[in-house]
Each structure stands twice: as C-alpha cells, then as structure tokens.
Amino acid sequence: MRSSVFSYPYAKVFRRTQRTLSYWGLRLKSADALTGSIKAESGFRFLRPSMKVNLLVEEMENHDTKVTVADLWVKKGFFEKKSISQEASEAQLLESLSALF
C-alpha cells in the first residue's frame, strides 16, 4: 500500500483521481465521495495488462489530501513479454496523479 499526499482540496483531488484512472483506460466501477473510495478496472486486453484498483482518498487535518492505493491487481497481457510488479504499478499510478497537480 503506497500513499501520496497532495496540497489541494479533497474535492479537486477526488475528481482528478477519477480522470487519471479514465486516462489509464480503467472503467470506474464505483466512486463514493463521502467515504473516499474509488474502484476501477480494465477489461482483458492482448497487448496491455488488465488491472483492478481500489483507492482511498482521505482529507487530512491541514487541508492536504492523501491518496492511498488500498488494493491493486495486475494481470499480464497475453502477448506481453515482461511482467509488471505490483509495487511498480502502484508507483506509476501515484506518479501520474502527481503529474496532474
């Protein structure tokens, strides 16, 4: 479980996190702003890995917002030669979120 802290309001981070998941090609299964949970997945693909991700977005005391990758499941694509580790995928996801802010 990796986390990143952003110095932006909760609502802005929550919206941009949803957009980033869509940019990665993931479909939102559920998103609840009250609990801060976002669940997304991608379907089976031959050339790219399929993924399922559960994120927790939490508002912190000093108006910062913390995004935690609660669960990440990556399955290698059919024609893909190298496998992607779970830690590398978590890091890539959080880096792409950081690039938006």
Interval 42-80: pLDDT, tens? 876 666 667 889 999 999 988 899 999 998 887 766 555
Average pLDDT over the chain, rounded to an integer: 83
CATH (domain of 84): 3.30.310.80
Q: State which residues form the domain around 14.
A: 3-100
Radius of gyration of the chain (CA): 14
CA distance 49 to 83: 9
Q: Is the pTM of this model over 0.85?
A: no
In the chain, % of residues over pLDDT 70 = 79
CA distance 48 to 69: 20
For the chain, what is the domain count?
1
Residue 20 DSSP SS3:
helix
